Every structure is written in structure tokens, then in C-alpha cells.
Amino acid sequence: MSDATPAARDDRDGAARASCGAVLDPGFVPARGLASPHLQTLWAAYRRPVPQPACTLEVFPTADGDVTRVARWTPLAGEGRPLVLLLHGLNGSHRSRYMRGMAATLIAAGYEVHALEFRGVDGGPMRGPRSYHAGFTEDLASYARHLHRAKPARALAAIGFSLGGNVLLRWLAETGEDAPLAWAAAVSVPYDLAACARTLHRGRGRAYEAVLLRELCRNTARRVRRYGHPRLSAHGVLRCRSIVEFDDLYVAPLFGFRDAEDYYERMSSGRILKDIEVPTLLVQSEDDPLVPASILPGAEDLAPDTILLRARAGGHVGFIEDGDRGRRSWCDGVILDALTRHVPVGRGSRPVAGA
């Protein structure tokens, strides 16, 4: 693990007193043989060995009559530690390697972990026409209220990856000082959705777009066959040839946006980061093949209690380094260290607006 973590610790007090956040170079060094951002991204997504701790799957009813799925990992010990809520990226689920790896790290340290899945992913249940998008915060808000009611004495933290990070940051900005979290982290966030969609549709990004789009359209067609759509048939969904086309034809009319550009403009988290009141850690790499470095926020874009660790390498939700026992996730260790420092055992939860 990088020895730059203490630098983040030393700088946080100064950042909190300032009018903006802080951007730090954490000194991350990629594992040997994984210097390429594509190797970082793909090895982490498909080859990274992670434990498979047993979890309990539950169906959570949403406010509009649909359902979504939650995976819960409970440690053998650790009563009084905060609850940690995980949010996955596009097409992810509780079974994604980065989700299982983060969950395993947390439960080994005694934390109870809940992974909230977006509607219908990975073959999950569905009972209505609406799915999810990069700024869909309703289910996150509902589940946070549920946790607060169920365990009001426990502090709540949340960690979002990629699209889930954008959802988390938007929710924090929307709720401001009423946010029920004691601490948050977000990794490889697409702060500008339009810029990321364009990146996916050119050069090497096309390979990532093809993989993402294939699963996205297949899952969406299942919902459209069952519940319909204002404009598209299931066949029309399967004919989408870009993320922008999918968002324009499927997401925009279903959720009341004028078009894809309107959706991207209104739902991108980058422009509202200043509104976040919760201590937040952001982890990004400059060589992310899905998120261009040009859209990463500067210190002036961040709220005073936000730290951005801007690594020079790491790919997209990669950050794989060499450890004593082989390759490991540098990011998981940094997040666990920050969570442990900023949310001490026994600290109570913040009240939830509307709870």
C-alpha cells in the first residue's frame, strides 16, 4: 500500500479549514506487468482473485412499487462499527469483483456491509417499467432511511464505484447537510457523463462500449418485453449501437429528460461537488480509459471536506499493486484506512431527513 496515505491524513485538517477541497498525488505504483491502464482495468475486472464471503440476499421494495436486491455480509464480530453501503457500476452487481473485494476487506475488519443493487441487474427481480440511470438516487435514499430506522444507533458510510459513485455523489449534494452519512468514498467516477460517453465511442473506448452496451441492452430488453416503454420495443433496444443512442432512446423518455444531452447535463455529479457536506474521499486515475483526465475536478471544484486522490495510473476501478502475498487492491486498503480514521467505532448515525 502506498506510503502517501499519511499525506492525505496530514492535509485533511487544512482542507477542512479552506474554502475548497484538496487534490493529492497518492504515489500509487501499479503492479509489475500491469502498468497499462487497460491491463489494470481488465485484470481487476476479470482476473483479480477475491474471496467469496457468504452473503444474504434480500429483496427491497422501492417507493414506486418496484423492487431491488440487496446483498448483506455480517461479520462474526464488530458490533458498534458503522454500517457500510456499497454501490456498483454500470452492469455490475454484488458479485462484481470490486464489490466482493471491498466487502471482504470490510467484513474482515468487523464492518457490516450492504450492497444495494440497481434495479434488475444481474437477472435480479423487477416489477415495473423503470430501471436506473447515473443520477437515479431514489432507491439509495429509501434504503438509507430503511437502515437508519432499523439500526438508528449505528453510523452509516457509503462507497460508490464508477456509475454508483456518480449516484452517491449526486445524492450527497442533493441532501447537503441532511445527508445521513458519516463518511463517503467514490472511485473512478464519471463526473461529466457526456464527456465519458464520447470517450467510450472513439478509439479503444469502443471495445469497452461494446461490452457495456451488450449486457445493458440485453437486460433492458427483458424489462421492456415485460413492461413496455414510451418509445422503444425490445427489438429497438437491442439495435442501439452506442451508449449515447441508448440514453437518447431509452433513458431520456423513460425518466423525463429532453434527450441524452439533457440527461447528461442534469445528472453529472462534477458540477455540484461543492454542495457535499459529508467528509468524502475520491479516488481517480489520470489514465482511466473510460473517464478522461480533463474532466477530473480541481481543488476549487470540491467541498472543503473532500479529498481527491488523483493517481497517475490505475485504470478504471483498477488500482492493483504488488503486495507481500501477490497482487492486491491498493484502493481497498486506502478506503478502509480512511473509513477507520474518520468514523470511529461507536459514533452514532446522523439523522435522516424524512425518516
**Residues classed as catalytic:** 162, 288, 316
Question: Which run of H or E residues covers position 179?
Answer: none
C-alpha to C-alpha distance for 81 and 347, rounded to whole angstroms: 8
C-alpha to C-alpha distance for 269 and 190, rounded to whole angstroms: 8
With a CB cutoff of 8 Å and minimum separation 6, the contacts of 140 are 85, 87, 116, 167, 168, 171
Give the side-chain half-sphere CA count within 13 A for 92.
Answer: 27
Q: Which long-range contacts (CB under 8 A, 24 or more apart) does 247-255 make?
A: 247/133, 247/197, 250/220, 251/133, 253/229, 254/129, 254/130, 254/131, 254/229, 254/230, 255/130, 255/133, 255/136
Q: Residue 111, Cβ neighbours under 10 Å: how many?
A: 23
Q: Residue 129, Cβ neighbours under 10 Å: how many?
A: 15
CB 272, CB 306: distance < 8 Å: no
> How would you class 78 by CB atoms within 10 Å of its CB: exposed for 0-12, middle for 13-18, buried for 19 or more?
middle
C-alpha to C-alpha distance for 28 and 45, rounded to whole angstroms: 19
Counting DSSP H helices and E strands in the chain, the numbers are 12, 11
Q: Which three cell numbers stand for residue 321?
A: 499493486
> How would you class 274 by CB atoms within 10 Å of its CB: exposed for 0-12, middle for 13-18, buried for 19 or more?
middle
